[in-house]
Amino acid sequence: MKKIMKKCAVLATLFAFVLSLSACWVFKAPGGKEDDNSGGKKTASTTDPAKLIAMLKTAKTGDTFTMGVYEQDGKTKNGAEPIEWTVVYQGVGKVLVLSNTVLLRKQFIETEDRFASGTYYDSAIRTWLSGAFYDGAFSDKEKEMILSTDIEVARRDGDAVSAASVTEKVFLLSAKEYMRYVQNLETVPYGVPSEALKKEEPYMSPVEGVPGVKEAMTWWLRDTGADLGHAADIPGYSTKVNGYGDDVVDKRGVRPAMWVVWDKDYMTAYENGEAGPQIDAEIENKLKSAKAGDVIEFGAYDVDPWTSDGYETMCWQVLEVKDDRLLVFMTEPFTTMRFVDQSADPSADLSTVTWENSTVRSSLNSDALLNDMFTPRELYMVRRTPVSTPDAKDSWARDGGADTEDRLFLPSAEEIRKYYPNASDRISDDRTYWLRTPAFTEPYMEHVRYDGEIDTGYGPDYDGVRPMMWLKRGY
């Protein structure tokens, strides 16, 4: 489960992509019984494709299934064993999966000069995952279900590291992907070795208080560590990212990740804006039952990336409920931003600062932030809303700017006074936060002070960001 923001510890309450398969398929929910068509065999048999598609279509985060084979028990005479995968994220028409266990130990870089090419782009693991592993583990029909995915990786650029985009079928998770999708999934973060690996007697760390996990080993991520000689990983003794990393010539665990497509046509239609995501009854019921004053959980964000604690669930207070929608306000600032940032946008004009042309508006409504904070099913419920910003109420009569259409927006001073008439109710964790209303002169904007009173803040300075949004109450 995703961690809840600190101030919200207590909360008020298509198309079928038909493929025939030639491998052993098993699907099970956590703690559930296996649905196994292999007849007790470890190697391939034929399964009804429609059944597999139905399994993946209804899969929830944390569910597991098997796909492909790899030697895992150290007994080569009985053949390779099915690889078990955990669903760590539900996309639209696809799921992101991570191998349940560490399949092998491998050096990140297989060279004596560990600084020569110590990045994932040039790594031995990338070569192995895309070559020997992919070719040997999956049947042709299984390969058709594995999505070619553009991922960001580190690449050697002289004595420095630069970002590069590569297309992969199978890959290591990045630190960000791990923190977003895996870190808070109970037992999934722990590097539990296969039976074959246990026989190699790798260094293992004891694990206490985690059902079914007694010890775990360190496993690689694809990020570069402190320098070209190190790569990030997840230590066996922790669920936090080791950003400093381990030496790239050390042997650490490998847990492959990949996107598995269960409906290619549906996935493509969604990406082209021609279809919406699947209905999520849990989300719909939550929004339909919400009342003014309730606090609901919706979305997640890495609010304190310096701690490597993973993503935290966002909490929102319901301010107003209508038949088809509800207005919610984040219970505390989730980050700080400059209202107008000339370092990010050198063309920004401090003499004409409004919500319409602000850096904070463009950031809040960027695809990068929206897709990071919300799942596709959640984002579908966030309405595009007409937003009107009033002029400054002073002798200067400063223009509030043109009307906009936004998914996330800052409250105006009038809205804050309407929904929180008492200043004490506006206080948020002793932090100030921006409003979208202009102050007496450029580039000043109104904001809420530590004591809840409304005051002015200097636009190019950092301040808290506590957005509002209108949510649909049904699909």
318 phi/psi in degrees, rounded to 5: -80, 120
pTM to 2 decimal places: 0.82
pLDDT of residue 5: 46
CB 424 within 8 A of CB 298: no
Side-chain half-sphere exposure of 303, counting CA atoms within 13 A = 20
CB 166 within 8 A of CB 123: no
Report the alpha-carbon distance of residue 404 to residue 356 in Å, rounded. 6
pLDDT of residue 26: 43
Q: What is the pLDDT along the chain (475 residues), one digit of tens a residue?
A: 444 444 454 434 332 332 233 333 444 433 333 333 333 333 333 345 667 778 888 888 999 999 999 999 888 889 899 999 999 999 999 999 999 999 999 999 987 666 666 789 989 999 999 999 999 999 988 999 999 999 999 887 776 778 889 999 999 999 999 999 999 888 899 999 999 898 888 788 999 888 889 999 999 999 999 888 899 999 999 999 999 999 999 999 999 999 999 999 999 999 998 998 988 888 999 999 999 999 999 999 998 877 777 899 999 999 999 999 999 999 999 999 999 998 877 777 888 899 999 999 999 999 999 999 999 999 999 999 999 988 766 545 678 889 999 999 999 999 999 999 999 999 988 799 999 999 988 899 999 999 999 999 999 999 999 999 999 998 7
User: What does each C-alpha distance from 170 to 174, 269, 317 come to in angstroms?
Assistant: 13, 24, 40
pLDDT of residue 113: 64
CB 120 within 8 A of CB 224: yes
Q: Assign residue 79 a region: left if phi > 0, alpha if psi is -120 to 50, beta otherwise? A: left
Report the alpha-carbon distance of residue 108 to residue 254 in Å, rounded. 9
Q: How many CB atoms lie within 10 A of CB 155?
A: 18
DSSP line for 27-96? EE-TTS--EE-STT-SS-----HHHHHHHHHT--TT-EEEEEEE--SS-GGG-PEEEEEEEEEE-SSEEE
Structure tokens at 366: 């960027």
Residues 6+ apart with CB under 8 A from 369: 363, 408
Report the alpha-carbon distance of residue 194 to residue 42 in Å, rounded. 15
